[in-house]
Every structure is written in structure tokens, then in C-alpha cells.
């Protein structure tokens, strides 16, 4: 069994009581404590401004516990990618921002699409999953 | 100006032949500039009892379009228990026991609500929003 851990630390002085949130999880297959996610797609792409791109080339099976990590390596604060899930906007990842979400790709339309704005955005992504179904051409 | 940072570390020694050790820190700023985020809903905790299916956690109508950030954690220790995370009516994924998520939220429409749907009664969600005002 592969063991992959993902940890987050959030810190801020926004409040009188400083925010210091720590969480860590071992990335497991859906509904189990015995078997970890054992497959990965890990890539890096440069996307020209105005270009829309499906960041995941095939569709993992539904009802799984896949995890998707995306980081925008652009250093210009005005550059961003719009992250869209099946035509539903999630949010924008500006230069330096990252995200980590559960992604169960519940149907064939549930692709994660990114669109670059501002210039050529440099994007790193990793999908931790437990199996994929190839999309029909 | 407040400074808010988010650090992620992903590691594995046996997923690949080469050890995976990924770590990065983002300083969270408003949309398109270097000004730090100036709002926070603080860290919250919510127990969802019976009848709370598809609870609206953050209402798109209540926030301006911006570079908000959302943190969620399923505190359950029962492996089969999960929260389904939805934006508007689109399912993002299932947050299983112990899992967390961190993602940007644009709130670009009144209908762009973040909804959570527990798979069992009395599940507890920890959450926070960092707001681009």
C-alpha cells in the first residue's frame, strides 16, 4: 500500500488571536483505512493567455476519493487561471496560489478545466487516484 | 496589512520509485495585487444533525466576486463517512473522514453557493473562509 500524506498549515495575523491551523491526512481510497491511493498523474504545463485546457486527460471512476493539487507558478500577481468544474466556476488561482480538493469526477462531463489570463501561466498539477477510465474519443 | 499564508506539504516514500516531497507556501492576497486578504470568518465548527442534508455553508449572494479562499475539514474518524462538496449544483468531490480541502472561491454569481451534504447524521465539519473584501 502506498502511503501519501497531505498536510496544510494556515497562519494569519488577521485576528487578535493569531490563526494557526494545521491539518494532515493520509490519502486513502474511498471509505477505507487500509488502502492508500496508489496512482498519480503529475505534470507541468505552460498555458498561453486565453487558452482553455482540461487539466485531467482522462476520467477517474465515480464515487472515489481522488485528490487534485494545482499550483500556479506564475510570479506576476495579475496572472491567473480560472478553475472550472463542468462549466461551474470554482475560483481563480493567481500567481503563487495553490489548491487541494477532493475530486470524484462523478460523470464524464466533470472535467477540471483551466483558462489562463494575463499571460502564459505556468501550472503544476498532481492527481492522486485509484484508477481511471479512458474517455472515448 | 495582515499577512496570511497557506502551506501545503505532500509526501510519500513509496508511491513512486523517487520519493515524493512537495511543499509550497502561498501568501494570500486580493485579486490581481499584492494586498493581503483583509477578512476572515474565523475558524468554525458545525455539527450537522439529521435533516441538514445539503447545507449551504457559504452563500454566493453574501460575498463579492473575489479571491476568497476556503478551508474545509471532515473531523469524522469513521472511514466511510464523507461530506459531498458542491458549488452551485456541481459536485466537486467527497471529503472523507480526516480529509481536508483548500481552494479558491470566486463567488462570481449569487447562485455560486458552497454546499455540503453529510453522508451520516451528527458529522462535524471544520471550516474557514478568508475573504477578499
A56: CATH? 2.60.120.10
Q: What are phi and psi of B29, to 5 degrees?
A: -130, 170
Residue A108 contacts B where some CB pair is shorter than 8 Å:
no
Would you say residue B84 lies in a domain?
yes
In this predicted complex, what is the ipTM? 0.95
CB distance from A23 to chain B under 8 Å? yes
> pLDDT value at position A89?
93
| ∠ CA A29-A99-B98, rounded to 5° | 40
Q: Tell me if A14 is assigned to some domain.
A: no
- Cell 441538514 belongs to B52
- pLDDT reported for residue A137: 58
How many domains would you assign to chain B? 1
**Average pLDDT over all residues of chain A:** 90
Q: List, for residues B16-37, the tens digit of each pLDDT value.
A: 999 999 999 999 999 999 899 9
Number of domains in chain A: 1
- pLDDT digits 0-9 by tens, A50-94: 989 888 766 666 678 999 999 999 999 999 999 999 889 999 999
Q: Which position has the grid cell 455539527?
A: B47
The DSSP-derived string for A62-94 is SS---EEEEEE----TT-EEEEEETTEEEEEEE
Residues of B in contact with A21 (CB under 8 A): 43, 71, 128
Write out the residue range of the structural domain in which residue B109 sits: 37-131
Residue B23: inside a domain: no
CB-based contact B130:B39 (threshold 8 Å): yes
Asked if the Cβ–Cβ distance from A90 to B3 is below 8 Å, we say: no
CB-CB under 8 Å, A97 with B32: no
The Cα A38–Cα A60 span in angstroms is 13
Full residue range of the structural domain in which residue A60 is found? 38-133
Residue B127: inside a domain: yes
Residue A130: pLDDT above 70?
A: yes
| Residue A25 half-sphere exposure toward CB, CA atoms < 13 A | 29
Question: What is the domain-level CATH number for residue B75?
Answer: 2.60.120.10
What pTM does this model have? Answer: 0.95
R_g (Cα) of chain A, nearest Å: 16
Sort strands A121-129 and A67-72 into parallel, antiparallel or unpaired.
Answer: antiparallel
Give, for all 133 residues of chain B, the pLDDT tens digit.
Answer: 789 999 999 999 999 999 999 999 999 999 999 899 989 888 999 998 766 667 899 999 999 999 999 999 999 999 999 999 999 989 999 999 999 999 999 988 899 999 999 999 999 999 999 999 8
Query: Could you give the CA distance from residue A19 to residue A98 in angstroms, rounded to a whole number?
Result: 19
Classify residue B89: in a domain, yes or no: yes
The answer as to whether A43 is a domain residue is yes
pLDDT the model gives residue A42: 92
Amino acid at each position: 500500500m502506498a502511503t501519501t500524506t497531505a498536510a496544510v498549515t494556515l497562519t494569519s495575523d488577521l485576528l487578535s488571536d493569531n490563526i494557526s491551523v494545521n491539518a494532515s491526512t493520509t490519502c486513502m481510497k474511498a471509505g477505507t483505512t487500509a488502502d492508500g491511493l496508489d496512482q498519480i498523474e503529475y505534470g507541468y504545463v505552460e498555458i498561453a493567455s486565453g487558452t482553455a485546457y482540461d487539466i485531467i486527460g482522462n476520467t477517474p471512476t465515480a464515487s472515489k476519493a481522488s485528490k487534485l493539487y494545482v499550483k500556479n507558478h506564475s510570479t506576476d500577481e495579475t496572472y491567473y487561471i480560472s478553475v472550472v468544474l463542468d462549466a461551474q466556476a470554482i475560483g481563480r488561482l493567481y500567481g503563487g496560489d495553490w489548491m487541494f480538493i477532493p475530486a470524484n469526477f462523478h460523470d464524464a462531463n466533470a472535467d477540471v478545466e483551466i483558462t489562463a489570463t494575463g499571460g502564459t501561466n505556468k501550472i503544476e498539477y498532481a492527481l492522486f487516484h485509484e484508477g481511471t477510465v479512458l474517455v472515448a474519443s | 496589512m495582515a499577512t496570511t499564508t497557506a502551506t501545503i506539504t505532500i509526501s510519500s516514500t513509496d508511491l513512486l520509485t523517487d520519493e515524493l516531497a512537495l511543499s509550497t507556501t502561498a501568501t494570500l492576497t486580493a485579486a490581481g495585487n499584492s494586498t493581503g486578504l483583509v477578512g476572515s470568518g474565523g475558524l468554525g465548527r458545525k455539527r450537522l444533525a439529521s435533516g441538514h442534508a445539503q447545507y449551504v455553508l457559504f452563500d454566493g449572494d453574501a460575498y463579492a466576486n473575489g479571491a476568497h479562499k476556503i478551508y474545509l475539514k471532515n473531523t469524522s474518524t469513521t472511514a466511510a463517512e464523507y461530506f459531498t462538496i458542491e458549488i452551485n449544483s456541481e459536485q466537486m468531490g467527497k471529503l472523507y473522514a480526516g480529509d481536508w480541502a483548500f481552494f479558491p472561491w470566486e463567488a462570481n454569481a449569487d447562485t455560486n453557493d458552497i454546499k455540503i451534504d453529510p453522508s451520516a447524521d451528527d458529522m462535524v465539519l471544520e471550516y474557514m473562509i478568508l475573504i477578499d473584501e
